[in-house]
Amino acid sequence: MAEATDAARTVLLTVDDDPAVSRAVARDLRRRYGDRYRVVRAESGASALEALRELKLRGAPVAVILADYRMPQMNGIEFLEEALDLYPGARRVLLTAYADTNAAIDAINVVDLDHYLLKPWEPPEEKLYPVVDDLLESWRAGDGRTVDTTKVVGHRWSARSSQIREFLARNQVPYRWYSSEEPEGRRLLAAAGQTGLRLPLVVTPGGTALVEPTERDLAAHVGLSTTPAADFYDLVIVGGGPAGLGAAVYGASEGLRTVLVEREATGGQAGQSSRIENYLGFPDGVSGAQLTERARRQATRFGAELLTACKVTGLEVNGAARTLRFADGSAVSAQAVILATGVSYRQLDVPGTAELTGRGVYYGSALTEVAACQGQDVYIVGGANSAGQAAMFLARTARRVTLLVRAPQLAASMSYYLLQRVQESPAITVRTDTVVEAAHGKDHLEGLTLRNRATGRTETVDAQWMYVFIGAAPLTDWLEGTVLRDSHGFVLTGPDLSADGGPPAGWVLDRPPYHLETSVPGVFAAGDVRAESAKRVASAVGEGAMAVMLAHRYLEQS
């Protein structure tokens, strides 16, 4: 039976069916290498393979494998051949009790043997250690190490693989990506007992293999909270964009028991921006990921609880309590609520795009797939700042970026500073008056039909990558019947709640609604989800802070 292993240290593995010999080999190895290496011992090929699979999933490096030749069921060469599939970089040593030239020749041919050792090897200082020292040195030089991080094995054109990568990246969980077709990807699949039909496979640093995980499952395994620690809070914030994070920092720092609930990943739209240049205090710009990471740290430092992969689907008023229902049926209540759900990307509604989303057609974030776009032609649909920023970002690595703009010119929709950069970039071509009529492709995007709105001419172009930035809409249907919204679904607050600026019909309190208060007392809205909001990072953060101040005022009076 293989001994328990610890992923932290590089492993030397030895397998021999004779328990006394197996123990003696392990003892000799430990005496010399035990302070720096973990020596794992097994007494059959099968249990050694089991140990190797577990080590593989845990990301533990294996430097040297010493296998006895004459073992029943599976001999040393057969074992080393299978071990090679899991750890091709490990150095391989065959042990025999007497000179067995045929075995040595076989082993050299079949498993590319590094060394052949005769037992017993007294004294080990002369016969064993010099060999293992050399093998360790060559293993280190060959960098046989694997990285102790989350690993994702998927298919380049699988929409689900793409969503999982996006989820990890936006939650700032470091991961390594392996195609299911590359050797290391195949090795990880084999270690998890998978054929590759069900992808992606996610292997956590602790060695747990998750096949086609949900975001919630994954979140829980990579250390992100998904359920509230308590049933009742002073303040629940829905949405983890700049407005929600701003509210979490101010709420928690001002002593409110605060929980923030985010359906995907904190950062919101801003988290997907490659460079925000107009946020106060960052003269050289700041990436959305950096800003999010700092805001997260700041909010948790003040004691706010942040939940991820937790979608809110309903709001109920139960006397003084405001109860939020989650997609899984569970709920959390609070005295006050801040709605900070922002807006979501509008989908491009033309034939082919729905089927190809995640397989060459992407919305919003250009970050996770950017490496794959290196040296490729990329199309970006949209003419606003988000499209311009993505074009600038992708132009760093793509061969050519074509911006498809519906309007006759860009100036109307893009900030002047960005427009100038786009126009000056040699890698970017702007095609105005142009719309996408259809996307084509079987497993992934292969072409686009474009139409010139001025001339009516259509043409089909080869395309593997298309990023769509055609505006956004608030997803607030779940508030229907509880909170008043405008005709586009934006949440009405304060003076916007009625035509004359007074309280809305059914308002029960003596005072009028506060500036960011909705038609339900104690429920506030901040950021892009609010009707008439400025749609900027700074204003969203500011409204988050202001909503907390108004929530305090509400709590003092209730």
Ligand X SMILES: Cc1cc2nc3c(=O)[nH]c(=O)nc-3n(C[C@H](O)[C@H](O)[C@H](O)COP(=O)(O)OP(=O)(O)OC[C@H]3O[C@@H](n4cnc5c(N)ncnc54)[C@H](O)[C@@H]3O)c2cc1C
Q: Which is nearer to ligand X, 45 or 241 (CB)?
A: 241
Instruction: Pick one of 154, 342, 494, 513: the residue that binds ligand X (CB under 6 A).
Output: 342
Contact stretch for ligand X (CB under 6 A) within 58-66, 184-192, 234-242, 459-467 = 234-242
Site for ligand X in 377-406 (CB under 6 A): 385-386, 389
Site size with ligand X, rule: CB under 6 A: 37
Contact stretch for ligand X (CB under 6 A) within 121-129, 157-165, 218-226, 258-266 = 258-266
Instruction: Pick one of 61, 154, 228, 527: the residue that binds ligand X (CB under 6 A).
Output: 527
Dist. CA 329–CA 331, nearest whole Å:
7
Site for ligand X in 40-79 (CB under 6 A): none
Dist. CA 94–CA 70, nearest whole Å:
10
**Peptide bond connecting 130 to the previous residue in cis, omega within 30 degrees of 0:** no
Indicate the SS3 state at residue 148. Answer: coil
The answer to whether 377 and 398 have CB atoms below 8 angstroms apart is: yes
Q: Which is nearer to ligand X, 93 or 270 (CB)?
A: 270
Instruction: Pick one of 442, 535, 557, 558: the residue that binds ligand X (CB under 6 A).
Output: 535
Q: Does 269 bind ligand X (CB under 6 A)?
A: yes
SS3 sequence of 187-248:
HHHHHCCCCCCCCCEEECCCCCEEECCCHHHHHHHCCCCCCCCCCEEEEEEECCCHHHHHHH
Indicate the SS3 state at residue 333. Answer: strand
Site for ligand X in 290-329 (CB under 6 A): 311-312
The answer to whether 315 and 455 have CB atoms below 8 angstroms apart is: no
What's the closest the beta carbon of residue 168 comes to ligand X, in angstroms?
15
Dist. CA 279–CA 275, nearest whole Å:
10
Q: Does 202 bind ligand X (CB under 6 A)?
A: no
What's the closest the beta carbon of residue 432 comes to ligand X, in angstroms?
21
Q: Does 278 bind ligand X (CB under 6 A)?
A: yes
Distances (CA, A) of 33 to 41, 45, 413, 474: 14, 23, 66, 61
Taking residues 450 to 489 in sequence order and writing x for each that binds ligand X by CB under 6 A, - otherwise, the string is -------------------------x--------------
Strands 201-203 and 209-211: antiparallel
* Radius of gyration (C-alpha) of the chain in whole angstroms: 30
CB-neighbour burial class of residue 480 (10 A; exposed 0-12, middle 13-18, buried 19+) = exposed
Taking residues 344 to 383 in sequence order and writing x for each that binds ligand X by CB under 6 A, - otherwise, the string is ----------------------------------------
User: 77: part of which helix (H) or strand (E)?
Assistant: helix 76-86
Q: Which is nearer to ligand X, 241 or 522 (CB)?
A: 241
Instruction: Pick one of 61, 144, 239, 441: the residue that binds ligand X (CB under 6 A).
Output: 239
Dist. CA 96–CA 349, nearest whole Å:
68
Instruction: Pick one of 60, 218, 243, 516: the residue that binds ligand X (CB under 6 A).
Output: 243
Q: Does 261 bind ligand X (CB under 6 A)?
A: yes
Instruction: Pick one of 491, 537, 547, 550: the residue that binds ligand X (CB under 6 A).
Output: 537
Got the DSSP string for 275-329? -B-SSTT-TT-B-HHHHHHHHHHHHHHTT-EEE-S--EEEEEEETTEEEEEETTS
What's the closest the beta carbon of residue 418 comes to ligand X, in angstroms?
9
SS3 sequence of 79-107:
HHHHHHHHCCCCEEEEEECCCCHHHHHHH
What's the closest the beta carbon of residue 217 comes to ligand X, in angstroms?
17
What's the closest the beta carbon of residue 160 comes to ligand X, in angstroms?
18
Q: Which is nearer to ligand X, 386 or 449 (CB)?
A: 386
Query: Footprint of ligand X on this chain (CB under 6 A)?
Result: 238-244, 261-264, 268-270, 272-273, 276-278, 311-312, 340-343, 385-386, 389, 475, 527-529, 535-538, 540
